[in-house]
A and B are shown apart, each in its own frame.
Chain A
Amino acid sequence: MSQDPPDRAVPLLEMRKVNAHYGAVHALRDVNLSIYAGELVCLLGGNASGKSTTLKTLLGMLTPTSGEVVLDGEVVNGRPTSYLVARGVTMVPENRRLFKRLTVRENLQLGAYLRKDSDAVASDLERVFELFPRVKERLGQKAGTLSGGEQQMVAIGRALMSQPRVLLMDEPSMGLAPTLVQQNFELISQIHEAGMTVFMVEQNANMALGIADRGWVLQTGRVVLDDTAEALLANPALRTSYLGGGKDDSDSS
């Protein structure tokens, strides 16, 4: 998981003037994002602001109507999800969404579904155990029987098993008790410190900006703010343009 220090020249993952539609609904309007290797960045926004759509577009689950999604200099518009996953883009879905009736081991194996290098998979599995010793104890258990915190660990472990270069996290605070939200953000910064590039989508602005380097604010499909985390936190426009900011947000679904 060790990565080179941030290379400001070429973004790892980039959106250039992307527009996306769900049928007639114009979900993203000229969105520009660039994620550099080694960064921890976040996309903030309220409900229906287009956050999840952005993630889906980045992962190839939705094809943009115009604009370009660029991975490491290569335009990947219209490529299937498997193509992107194989090239290191991985998502941790909101609410964790483990395969509940499968064992923890099977969940982790499914994270490495596209990989053929079984030796490296085995060593990555060990690395996940190092990161989350608790997961190792639960290997044979059905994922649905784990506690919320453990499920979060398995969800992140499952994503790490695909050997990602960038981790897309969809609302990591969603549906968790406040203490678990805290724990979850600690997990994320822990992974980031280990060298992982993380792009997270959040409603809870204070929590997210507390650990992120940079952030964007999305409002009805348009990027309205783009700044460093400190600047965004200090910016009064954050509070006016986006009604987040309170810790209570973690409880609203």
Chain B
Amino acid sequence: MNLTVPSETGPQPPPGPAASTASNDSPPRPPFAQDWGRIARMGAVGAVGQIFISLSNMPVKLDGRAIIEGILSLGYLSLVVLPFAVGSRVGYQVRREGVPFHRPGTYEVVGGAACGAVVGGGLSLLAILIANFDLREPLVNWSPILADLLAFNRGTAFAVVIWLAVGAVIGALGGLLRVVPPLAKRILWTVVLTLFGAAVLESLTTDLAEGMGLEGPVEWFYAPRGGLTVTGAIALAIGSAVLAVVGRGRVKGAKAHIDSLEGPARTRAHLGLILATGAVLVILPMFAGKLTNELLANVGLFVLLALGLNVVVGLAGILDLGYVAFFAVGSYSAAVLTAAASPRINPELPWFVALIGVVILTGLVGLFIGAPVIRMRGDYLAIVTLGFGEIIRLLFLSDWLSGWFGGSQGITNIPGAEIFGLAEVSGTDPRSVFYLVLAFCAIAIYVSWRLERSRIGRAWMAVREDETVAEAMGINTVNVKLLAFVVGAVLGSFSGAIFSAKVGSVFPASFLILVSIVILVVVIFGGMGSIVGVIAGSAVLIGVLGGPKQPGLLAEFSEFKLLIYGALLVWMMLARPEGLIPSVRRTRELHQEEMAQDAWLRGQTDEDETADDNNGAAAGRTAVGES
């Protein structure tokens, strides 16, 4: 086997396109020698997807939300997403060693345009079909409103032409993305993301601006009926483009700098970052209004839940699909212990005293549920936790326990949380709720961070990796897993206790299985096992899209939330399985194949070497100097 090992690279060449150089590029392919079959296939898939999006009523519903006043609404944006994606994707070429790589050029643009036109053609077809057939019976959104939206109120013929054209243009833009130099691409993305971000964060920005007395400039950016003004959009675009050019590589450089630090300097840098983030989080809400604080508090509650689940799923590898049970137990036990209106027992304890009871109770419930569950493995365990999650909710709902928990009436008039007589935290004051949540998040983050680096954290990871071998190492796998379950339960119960004080009432309907799913999605989306990722995941999913019952910044999305969650998850698993902000650990593990190959190549050299000096040298010292 004559393998030439690339020796010019370091011990660990970074995987990905960055590593490959442009040295073996062939000239661009001729623009019309396209793979038409591939274009037709991808275009057809895109067209079907785009028709599905249209018929899900997303364009009509989201049309009310303007991105740029009078030019682009979120609804129309949803109609051009797929032509763009498909147009960009069709020109994608995998770099393979030994296979000529064509430098991108007009080929990509033409292919993108053709593919985008096919997707646009799907919408044209839809416009024709809506004009000529009435399928409102099975498809509720098969409506004249959708037809008008597609035709810009100018008749079917216009719709047919315009969507073919728009599809082609957008597809060509997608293709163009492969051709333009990195700097142009970077500017383009920065501008697009800035405009979109500014539009999405509109309510947040205006709210903050009001708090700081900066209404003037913000009114200039945002149109009175929502969306950016045209001048504001242009100003933002120019500003962000300049920033993209100036700030090129700065963030990465800073990150690399911090990563390169060692010992106390690195700890100091991290501590500085943490303190700065903490300071922003403490100061920001002071200027924010009720709605923003409400949103922040909701995000915080989910961060707390997701951190708890992260210990269970991310560290110990126990797929818990019924995590909402602990949120429910935390909420109900806090309600029973603090509320005067609690049906059977009502000690009316102050919140902090009640919290001790909440922790003990939830811990016990965690033990009680965990003990039978934990002996199972893999899918069986997941199914059983799913069942227990529902059982807990049904118990709270049942007539049997309604004397204790009020059945479907729930428990109402729960007092706010009193903080050592200093402040009363209740739902009417979302700012104080946010501060309370923030404090508990800080505790949870610290605990997870410490746990991950402790002996018990290592034991959890060992169990996650290989339970049998973990047992052979002397780890009592049952106890260790049970402990993870209980720690997760207690962290979730904090969120529950704050939730009941915030909302002032608890009902079984607040603890649907959907909550478990959403928390799990947050953890997976953010990056399993990564604390920062879990926080970012909550901010994006709960803050922007909205939680199971809480509206996010894009309140218009509420109807399509689950659809978008699903689409995001699928995309995430395909493109970035390690999550939004992965833990280093997960990245390694998911790109194991590349690294295994790397190791295999190295192993090959090792073996060759051992084979060479076969005269009984102690194997332990072979090839020490190598690599």
Instruction: From A80, A149, A162, give the contact of B473 (CB < 8 A).
Output: A162
Instruction: Find the residue from A109, A110, A111 having the highest chain B CB count within 10 A.
Output: A110
B261: min CB distance to chain A, Å: 16
Give the A interface residue count (CB, 8 A): 47
A174: min CB distance to chain B, Å: 14
Give the B interface residue count (CB, 8 A): 39
B368: min CB distance to chain A, Å: 23
Q: From residue 445 to 478 of chain B, which have CB atoms closer than 8 A to chain A?
A: 455, 458-459, 461-462, 465-466, 468-476
Do the beta carbons of B603 and A81 come within 8 Å of each other?
no
A129 to B616, CA, bound (A): 20
Q: Is A29 an interface residue (CB 8 A)?
A: no
**For residue A131, which residues in chain B have a CB less than 8 angstroms away from its CB?**
620
Do the beta carbons of B599 and A81 come within 8 Å of each other?
no
A182 to B606, CA, bound (A): 13
Do the beta carbons of A190 and B473 come within 8 Å of each other?
no
Q: From residue 115 to 136 of chain A, which have CB atoms closer than 8 A to chain B?
A: 131-134
A146 to B627, CA, bound (A): 13
Residue of A whose beta carbon sits closest to that of B480: A113
**For residue B459, which residues in chain A have a CB less than 8 angstroms away from its CB?**
110, 113
Do the beta carbons of B600 and A147 come within 8 Å of each other?
yes
Do the beta carbons of A149 and B606 come within 8 Å of each other?
yes
A177: min CB distance to chain B, Å: 6
Residue of B whose beta carbon sits closest to that of A134: B624
Do the beta carbons of A97 and B599 come within 8 Å of each other?
no
Do the beta carbons of B462 and A133 come within 8 Å of each other?
no
A187 to B622, CA, bound (A): 12
Q: Is A225 an interface residue (CB 8 A)?
A: no
Do the beta carbons of B461 and A99 come within 8 Å of each other?
yes
How many residue-residue contacts, CB under 8 A, span A and B?
A: 131
Do the beta carbons of B606 and A133 come within 8 Å of each other?
no
Interface residues of B: mostly helix, strand, loop or mixed? Answer: helix
Q: Is A220 an interface residue (CB 8 A)?
A: no
B12: min CB distance to chain A, Å: 8
**For residue A190, which residues in chain B have a CB less than 8 angstroms away from its CB?**
618-620
Do the beta carbons of A102 and B473 come within 8 Å of each other?
no
Do the beta carbons of A101 and B589 come within 8 Å of each other?
yes
Instruction: From A90, A99, A144, A162, give the contact of B596 (CB < 8 A).
Output: A144
A43 to B513, CA, bound (A): 53
Do the beta carbons of B603 and A142 come within 8 Å of each other?
no
Do the beta carbons of A132 and B620 come within 8 Å of each other?
yes
Do the beta carbons of B619 and A186 come within 8 Å of each other?
yes
Given contacts A144-B592, A147-B600, contact A81 B472 (CB under 8 A): yes
Do the beta carbons of B465 and A101 come within 8 Å of each other?
yes
Instruction: From B462, B606, B623, give the contact of A102 (CB < 8 A).
Output: B462
**For residue B598, which residues in chain A have a CB less than 8 angstroms away from its CB?**
145
Q: Is B270 an interface residue (CB 8 A)?
A: no
Instruction: From A59, A100, A106, A179, give the contact of B472 (CB < 8 A).
Output: A59
Do the beta carbons of B603 and A147 come within 8 Å of each other?
yes
Do the beta carbons of A147 and B602 come within 8 Å of each other?
yes
**For residue B588, which residues in chain A have a CB less than 8 angstroms away from its CB?**
101, 142, 144-145
**For residue B236, which residues in chain A have a CB less than 8 angstroms away from its CB?**
none
Q: Is B585 an interface residue (CB 8 A)?
A: yes
A145 to B616, CA, bound (A): 27
Q: Is B595 an interface residue (CB 8 A)?
A: yes
Instruction: From B458, B602, B618, give the contact of A110 (CB < 8 A).
Output: B458
- 0/1 interface trace, chain B 578-600, chain A, CB 8 Å (1 if under): 00000001001100100110111
A184 to B461, CA, bound (A): 27
Given contacts A142-B595, A186-B616, contact A149 B472 (CB under 8 A): no
Do the beta carbons of A187 and B475 come within 8 Å of each other?
no
| Interchain residue pairs A-B with the least CB separation, the first 3 | A147-B603, A85-B474, A183-B619
A residues with a Cβ closer than 8 A to B are: 59, 61, 80-82, 84-86, 90-91, 93, 97, 99-102, 106, 109-111, 113-114, 131-134, 137, 142, 144-150, 153, 158, 162, 177, 179-180, 182-184, 186-187, 190
Q: Apart from A145-B596, A148-B607, list 8 A-B contacts with CB within 8 A.
A: A61-B471, A80-B476, A97-B469, A101-B465, A101-B592, A102-B585, A113-B459, A113-B475
For this complex, 28 residue pairs linking A to B, each with C-beta atoms less than 8 Å apart, are A81-B472, A85-B473, A93-B472, A99-B462, A99-B465, A100-B592, A101-B461, A102-B458, A102-B465, A106-B461, A110-B458, A113-B455, A131-B620, A134-B620, A134-B623, A142-B588, A144-B596, A145-B598, A145-B599, A147-B603, A147-B606, A147-B607, A149-B606, A182-B610, A186-B616, A186-B619, A187-B620, A190-B618
